[in-house]
Amino acid sequence: MNGDDARGGNGTEGTPTDSELSARLRRLETQIERKRPQAAAEPSTRPRTNGSSSLGQAMTLSTEFVAGVIAGGILGWIVDHVFGTKPWGLIVLLMLGFVAGVYNVMRVSGFSGARPERRDRQEP
C-alpha cells in the first residue's frame, strides 16, 4: 500500500489526478485479488510455477525456430515467383527467416527485452 502511495506522490505535478487514479485502481485490484476465493488462484498458480509450464515452453521453442525458417522460405519463394528474381528472394528471405526463428526463440525464452510489457503489465 505504502509503496503505491509513494509512487503516486512522486508522479509528475502536471497530472496528479491521473497518477492518483491509477494508484487507487491498483490498490483496488490488489484488494479484489486478496478477497478472491483461493479456488480461483489455486489452479492458476500451480501450472505456472512448477514444471508443467516450463515443459510447455520447451515444446514451443523448437517449433518456433523451425516455423521462422519455413515462413522465410515460403515468403522468399512467393517473392521470387511474383517478381521473377529467381534465386535472390529465397536466399535473402531464408536467411532473414533464420534470424526471425532465433528471434522467436529468444522472445519465447525471455532473453530479449523486445516485448517486456506482455508479461509485466499484469504482474505488479
Q: Which is nearer to other proteins, 9 or 48 (CB)?
A: 48
Report in angstroms how near the CB of residue 107 gets to other proteins at its nearest. Answer: 8
Characterise 12 by phi-psi region: left (phi > 0), alpha (psi -120 to 50), beta (else): beta
Distances (CA, A) of 122 to 19, 29, 57, 104, 116: 17, 11, 19, 22, 11
Q: Which is nearer to other proteins, 6 or 40 (CB)?
A: 40
Report in angstroms how near the CB of residue 86 gets to other proteins at its nearest. Answer: 19
Q: What are the grid coordinates assigned to 53, written together?
A: 509450464
Residues found near other proteins in the complex (CB under 8 A): 39-40, 43-44, 47, 52, 55-56, 59-60, 63-64, 66-68, 70-72, 74-75, 93, 96-97, 99-101, 103-104, 107, 114-115, 117-118, 121-122
Residue-wise DSSP of 2-58: HHHHHHHHHS-TT-HHHHHHHHHHHHHHHHHHHHS-HHHHHHHHHHHHSHHHHHHHH
Q: Which is nearer to other proteins, 20 or 103 (CB)?
A: 103
Say how many CA atoms lie within 13 Å of 119 toward its Cβ.
10
Q: Which is nearer to other proteins, 6 or 91 (CB)?
A: 91
Report in angstroms how near the CB of residue 15 gets to other proteins at its nearest. Answer: 21
Report in angstroms how near the CB of residue 9 gets to other proteins at its nearest. Answer: 26
